[in-house]
Structure 1
Amino acid sequence: MGTFKIEGGHQLKGSIQPQGAKNEALQILCAVLLTPEKVTINNIPDIVDVNKLIKLLGKLGVKIEKLSKSTYTFQADEVNLKYLESDQFKIDGRGLRGSIMIVGPLLARFGKGYIPKPGGDKIGRRRLDTHFEGLIKLGAKFGYSREEQFYGVEAKKLKGAYMLLEEASVTGTANIVMAAVLAEGQTTIYNAACEPYLQQLCKMLNRMGAKISGVGSNMLIIDGVDSLGGTEHTMLPDMIEIGSWIGLAAMTKSELTITNVSWNDLGIIPSVFRKLGITVEKQGDNIYIPAHTDGYEIQSFIDGSILTIADAPWPGFTPDLLSIILVVATQARGSVLIHQKMFESRLFFVDKLIDMGAKIILCDPHRATVIGHDFKSTLKATTMTSPDIRAGVSLLIAALSAKGTSTIMNIEQIDRGYENIDERLRAIGAKIERLD
């Protein structure tokens, strides 16, 4: 188990460039299964979850060539479907939640798709109903082995259908879209997710020959085609990492520039940080955060009531950044209510922040009230364990701002979503060491 040793209390300075988007990569990589032609993908992040999916594709028979650090080509012209029924696949697929998105492409192109119950963050229940209900409406037959926790869908030919999704699931929408592009006739997906990463997937599929309209809205209309061709695709910068660096700059009173952020795809992320009193300046396609030497003050609602920050489907605030918002609020002037609606276990890491001296009231599994210290009382160093990707980075930010030397264990969770994070932080002045 890896460990970070962090000496906190140091100001950072310089610039940092976000990696390619993790959540986009998991969708885009699955889409290469839709064509026998070569697909080139740029700006792939070198992180554990993405590398696991690339290895899974290789075991499926996809020909993979690494052209540079972040550019690969994929060609799925000799897919090994027997691997899907092997014991090894049940092990490999279980280790990565993003593996669920191979089901739609495999079903559409080969008439069958299987997946073991996938793993991922321990942040609460994450239902797969949306995925399979959508595929069933396209004509697939669904099977589930409760004993092996193994899912399967099969269909001789998918047919377009109208569907109103029960939830605007990003991965569920992606899976259904990838199946529908090769279905016979027209498919309408209402209450579809419309995150920038889902838009990127749709744009890539259209370049491959798909016919998807309504991209960016919550109603997608897909006219099925017989086949798709190859293409080249470049992934967006990771908006969750961008938000993490904004929070890091504020908590450590550091002057940082975050480069090449694709401002138009950040939605309300900058404005939510501004509500905490953080200065977020647009400089071209960069974000500039000045050193908040006098701290930052949380705004109130227009009627004077306490600010509430809650997650919501896009264009609402992404749930992946609520952990960052919470830790940043611990040193603000004022109070804020954090409302995590989507996952009932995601706020349970706050006990570690309380141990560091933060003033947090965990109201219930979904809500926490944070009373900011205004830097009059710094967080104290401690030893902690990373429970998931986002909580792990939040604890890392807390440790970098704290007085003393902290230890974070189980950093494999952080490595699942952040590329070479210790090296990149050292480059801007952080005192962080990776221990085996």
Structure 2
Amino acid sequence: MGTFKIEGGHQLKGSIQPQGAKNEALQILCAVLLTPEKVTISNIPDIVDVNKLIMLLGNLGVKTQKNGPGSYTFQADDINLSYLESEQFKEEGRGLRGSIMIVGPLLARFGKGYIPKPGGDKIGRRRLDTHFEGFIKLGATFRYNREDYFYGVEAKKLKGTYMLLDEASVTGTANIVMAAVLAEGTTTIYNAACEPYLQQLCKMLNRMGAKISGVGSNLLSIEGVDELGGTSHRMLPDMIEIGSWIGLAAMTRSELTIKNVSWGDLGQIPEVFRKLGITVERKGDDIHIPEHKDGYEIQNYIDGSILTISDAPWPGFTPDLLSIILVVATQARGSVLVHQKMFESRLFFVDKLIDMGAKIILCDPHRASVIGHDFKSKLKATTMVSPDIRAGISLLIAALSAKGTSTIHNIEQIDRGYENIDERLRAIGAKIVRL
């Protein structure tokens, strides 16, 4: 189990470049299975979850060529379908949440797709019903082996249909879209997710020859085609990492510039941080966070009631940044209620922050009330364990702002989503060592 040792209380300075988007990468990489032609993808983040998926695709028979840092060419012209029923696949597929998204492309092109129950963060229930209900509506037969938690769908030919998704699942929408592009006839998906990363997937599929309309809305229409061709694609910067750096700058009262953030795809992220009193300046396509010498003050609602920050499907605020918001609020002036609607275990890391001296009341599994210190009382260094990716980066930010030297164990969770984070933080002045 890896460990970070962090000496907190130091101001940081400089600029930082966000990595390619993890959540986009997991969708885009699975889409290479839809064509036998070459697909070149750039700005791929060098992180554990993405590298696991690239390895899994290689074991499935996808030819993989690394062109340079973050750039790969994939060709799925000789797929080994027998790998899907091997013990090796059951083990490797189980270790990665994103592996579920190979099912749609495999089902569409080869008539069958299998997956063991995927792993990922321990943040509460993350059901797969939306994915498989969509495949069944397209004409697939579903089976599930309860003994070894193994899912399967099979179909001679998928047929387009209308469907109303039970939830606006990003991965569910992506999986169903990838299945529908090669289906016979037209598929209409209502209550579809419309996140920028899903828009990126649809745009890439259209360049490959798919016919998807309504991109960016919650109503997608997909006219099935017989085959798809190759293309090239560049990932967006990771909006969750961008939000993490905004929070880091505020908590350490540092002046930071976040480079090439693709402002048009950030949605409400800058505005939500502004509601916490943080100055978020736009400079071209960069974000500049000035030094907050006098701290930052949480805005109340117009009627004076306490601010609530909650997650919602896009264009609402992403749930992946609520952990960051919660940490940043611990040093604000004022109070805020953080409401995590989607996952019932994601706020359980707050006990670590309370140990560090934060004033947080965990109201229930979904809500936490934070009373800010206004930097009059610094968080205290401690030893902690990272429970998931987003809580891990939040605890790291807390440690960098705290008084004394902190230790974070199980940093493999952080490495799953953040590329070379210790090196990049040292480059802007952080005192962090990987043990």
Give TM-score, length-normalised by structure 2. Answer: 1.00
**Equivalences for residues 265-276 of structure 1 within 5 A:** 265-276=265-276
Once residues 302 and 105 of structure 2 are traced to their aligned partners in structure 1, the CA distance between those partners, rounded to angstroms, is 47
CA distance in structure 2 between the aligned counterparts of 1:28 and 1:247, rounded to whole angstroms: 28
2:190 aligned residue: 190
Deviation at 1:92, TM superposition (A): 0.3
For residues 397-428 of structure 1, the C-alpha deviation after alignment (integer angstroms, 9 at most, x for no partner) is: 00000000000000000000000000000000
TM-score norm. by structure 1 comes to 1.00
Cα deviations by residue, 1:2-48 (Å, 9 ceiling, x for unpaired): 00000000000000000000000000000000000000000000000
Q: Distance in 1 between matches of 2:218 and 2:310?
A: 20
What's the offset of the Cα at 1:81? 0.1
What residue number does 1:355 align with? 355
CA separation in 1, counterparts of 2:57 and 2:385?
Answer: 31
2:125 matches 1:116? no
CA distances 1:305-343 after superposition (whole Å, capped 9, x unpaired): 000000000000000000000000000000000000000
Q: Structure 2: which amino acid aligns with 1:196?
A: P
After TM superposition, the structure 1 = structure 2 runs for residues 260-339 of structure 1, keeping only pairs within 5 Å, are 260-339=260-339
Aligned residue for 2:68, secondary structure, equals coil
Which digits, 9 at most, give the CA deviation of each residue in 1:352-373, with x for residues without a partner? 0000000000000000000000
Residue in structure 2 matched with residue 138 of structure 1 by the alignment = 138
Partner of 1:31: 31
Match of 2:168 in 1: 168
One-letter identity of the residue aligned with 2:278: I
Partner Cα separation in structure 2 for residue 161 and residue 376 of structure 1: 59
The letter of the residue matching 2:9 is G
Q: Distance in 1 between matches of 2:320 and 2:293?
A: 27
Equivalent residue number for residue 49 of structure 1: 49
Matched to 2:118, the amino acid is P
Question: 1:235 deviation in Å?
Answer: 0.3
Look up the equivalent residue of 1:378 and give its one-letter code. Answer: K
* Alpha-carbon separation, structure 2, partners of 1:274 and 1:318: 15
3-state SS, counterpart of residue 67 of structure 1? strand
* 1:203-262 superposed Cα distances (whole Å, 9 cap, x missing partner): 000000000000000000000000000000000000000000000000000000000000
Classify the secondary structure of the residue corresponding to 1:167.
Answer: coil
Distance 1:368 1:221 in 2: 40
The residue number in structure 1 matching 2:98 is 98
**1:221 corresponds to 2:221:** yes
Q: Distance in 2 between matches of 1:88 and 1:161?
A: 35
* Rounded Cα–Cα distance in structure 2 between residues aligned with 1:74 and 1:411: 30
Post-superposition CA distance 1:109-140 (Å, at most 9, x none) = 00000000000000000000000000000000
Provide Cα deviations, 1:50-107, integer angstroms capped at 9, x if missing partner: 0000000000000000000110000000000000000000000000000000000000
Shift of 1:302: 1.1
For 1:424, the equivalent position in structure 2 comes to: 424
Partner Cα distance (1:70, 1:149) in 2: 34
Amino acid at match of 2:28: I
Residue 127 of structure 1 aligns to a residue whose secondary structure is coil
In the alignment, the residues of structure 2 paired with residue 338 and residue 301 of structure 1 have an alpha-carbon distance, to the nearest angstrom, of 14
Aligned to 1:152: 152
What is the Cα deviation at residue 429 of structure 1?
0.0
Deviation at 1:267, TM superposition (A): 0.3
User: Aligned partners of 1:48 and 1:293: how far apart in 2?
Assistant: 37
Partner of 2:340: 340
Distance 1:380 1:393 in 2: 17
Q: Tell me the distance in 1 between the aligned counterparts of 2:431 and 2:375.
A: 20
1:244-286, CA deviations, whole angstroms, 9 ceiling, x for partnerless residues? 0000000000000000000000000000000000000000000
Distance, in Å, in 1 between the alignment partners of 2:56 and 2:247 is 34
Alignment of 1:222-237 (within 5 A): 222-237=222-237
Distance (whole Å) between structure 1 residues aligned to residue 293 and residue 117 of structure 2:
48
**Matched AA of 1:242:** I
Q: Distance in 2 between matches of 1:264 and 1:36?
A: 33
| Structure 2: gaps of 5 or more residues | none
Report the Cα offset of residue 108 of structure 1.
0.1
Match of 2:2 in 1: 2
Sequence identity percentage: 88
| Structure 1 letter corresponding to 2:160 | G
State the Cα deviation string for residues 171-226 of structure 1 (Å, max 9, x = none).
00000000000000000000000000000000000000000000000000000000
Q: Amino acid of the residue matched to residue 278 of structure 1?
A: I
Counterpart-to-counterpart distance in 2, 1:167 and 1:287: 33
Q: Which residue of 2 aligns with 1:370?
A: 370
Distance 1:201 1:187 in 2: 17
